[in-house]
Chains A and B, each alone.
Chain A
């Protein structure tokens, strides 16, 4: 047996205990952000994609260092940061998050650490024509959904007659500006400047449509941590460390020293949100959002009906081709069905909208309609093929003996009977289509789920928007299910004789 001197055992045990105590005292501070298209705030490091870099990463590390804790990044979709903060998925989120009355009402919000301007970017050729939102009546203006800029565009829709287009990220608006799908982009100067560096041919107008601030957000109960973070930010403003970070990411400008001076002069406490918007009650906001929710529901319904019509026509053609067609045609159609069923619909939508843009620049609604229609056609064709093959052979023999051609037998006997077999699964698919149509928000189509998400983000709660959204979807799908049940009862498929 190995003899360990007593003193050595005591030293090791004490060291382990101290280590444990130390680890308990300083767990990592979990901070949230979205690394997807998040430059210059938070983005994956090109050298090591497992790491993140960006100005908010540096701010987070500054805060972590001052708190004496290591920083641990948590990936959260940008539009979910508020809900995740409230849930406690992390302690603080830092990702170019705008100060707003809604955020202050539902979360603990730090003092601002950056002042940005909402600026209008246009194609160089339009620089003289589109100087402000007022010049853009009847034109499509893009921005990132759920932001102050989007609120400004909604106000612009009411007051100046512009058409707001909401995107899920801040890169595609500028791409679509260049290729002509939109005529202007309203976003933070930080994003606008970065995009202009990446894409020549864009011009940003000098006048700001509004001024806003980036803040950190925490769960409402975390006011103590928030106050400590405020102290750290204040100290970093005084000793120039914040300036160093902002300069490093090329976002330092004349607005920042003024902001810092104002904040330091104001002393303790967090100043009120910039007056971009007025605080509104849940019910006023709900009332204001109802028309846009109804419009979005209408769009969802129209898109679903048209896409389903396309899917039914194309699906029937595919099914008939697979049942009656030549061997080569059957192979081609089978390949189509397998590709459409075997790849994600989101990928298909992206390919149709962005991938094909250099060849054919489809409007968002048309791309959504075609994307959903082509995808569902594959599923419909399988239903119809099965239904056609389920029609008893005797029915076709009876038609043949009576002298019908193959196409007459299909049109007059086989298809009408197959339709009854297909009705129930078709209804299922239509209800699924109503819901899957929410995927097309990635193509900037403002359907019901996207509109609800924007509503919820601006309201700072999902309860009322979620309930309204669910009610609208049910109002569309329940009558459909009811009608299908009635039709099925009327055309009930008899027992096999």
Chain B
């Protein structure tokens, strides 16, 4: 099993608060790792550090063959990291002025300089695979939450990154759509990608994650096979999560 993401003793400080105090875990190809924790536990912060949107203060993060060091603001643009990691934001952040398919095509065309014909064909296939092929021409404002999310996933996959980060992908979905999304993510993992997903939804995590990492007080509170961890919670934070606290 080849490791795509390796998070080692990552420390994040925001203001005077230590949000993460040395978190370590890894994600390999074929895995779906779920990051759980109460609000403010640092799930999204960690995701943003892995995507190099925000710097971190200590430790090290390896994404593929790229090593992120603390306190380094990475340059925008030509960065080998960008070929390694794709991100799906909680609120999708689809480019409002472009149709769904143009959202998917934009980065391959301008970052990879791929041919327009090929890019468009690949984008159609991706949208089709994610079940939103019929919405290719729609503007983001005309898409439902679930559709927008799938388009956002297609946009991230268009750059073919081995690691995909998804921030709260189930938050805006009804149970039926959560299940269908989980199946799509499982397919992506099966095709050899590594997925790191933050979630509050323990049913979703039980059904689709291969591993769960519970964050509390800036540390990994417990981790392991989701069914095992969630059926016999040891840490108070895990128990609180299962009680439905957020």
Contacts and interface: CB of A to CB of B under 8 A. Distances in A.
Interface string B67-88: 0000000001111001101110
Nearest to A494: B141
B53 A400 contact: yes
A392 interface: yes
Main secondary structure of the interface of A (DSSP, over half): helix
Contacts of A404: 76-77, 107, 110-111
Contacts of B89: 394, 397-398
Contacts of A406: 76-77
B86 A412 contact: no
A491 B76 CA distance: 28
Contacts of B140: 494
B111 A417 contact: no
B150 interface: no
B76 A394 contact: no
B104 to A, nearest CB: 10
Contact of B93 (A398, A403, A409, A491): A398
B204 interface: no
A401 interface: yes
Interface string A398-422: 1111111110110011001100100
A401 B106 contact: no
Main secondary structure of the interface of B (DSSP, over half): loop
Contacts of B83: 403
B25 interface: no
Contacts of A412: 106, 110
Kindly state the interface size class of chain B when it binds its partner. Answer: 20 to 34
B65 interface: no
A491 B140 CA distance: 12
Contact of A403 (B92, B94, B159): B159
- Interface core residue of B78, B93, B139 (most chain A CB under 10 Å): B93
Contacts of A223: none
Nearest to B109: A412
B189 interface: no
B10 interface: no
B106 A402 contact: yes
B155 A402 contact: yes
Given A392-B93, A395-B95, A404-B77, 11 more contacts: A398-B94, A400-B53, A400-B76, A401-B51, A402-B111, A403-B79, A404-B76, A406-B76, A412-B110, A491-B97, A497-B92
28 contacts: A392-B93, A395-B93, A395-B95, A397-B89, A399-B95, A401-B85, A401-B87, A402-B86, A402-B107, A402-B111, A402-B159, A403-B77, A403-B83, A403-B107, A405-B76, A405-B78, A406-B76, A406-B77, A408-B77, A408-B110, A409-B76, A416-B97, A417-B95, A491-B97, A493-B96, A494-B96, A494-B141, A497-B91
Enumerate the 6 nearest inter-chain pairs by beta-carbon distance, A residue then B residue, closest first: A405-B77, A403-B82, A494-B141, A394-B93, A398-B93, A402-B107
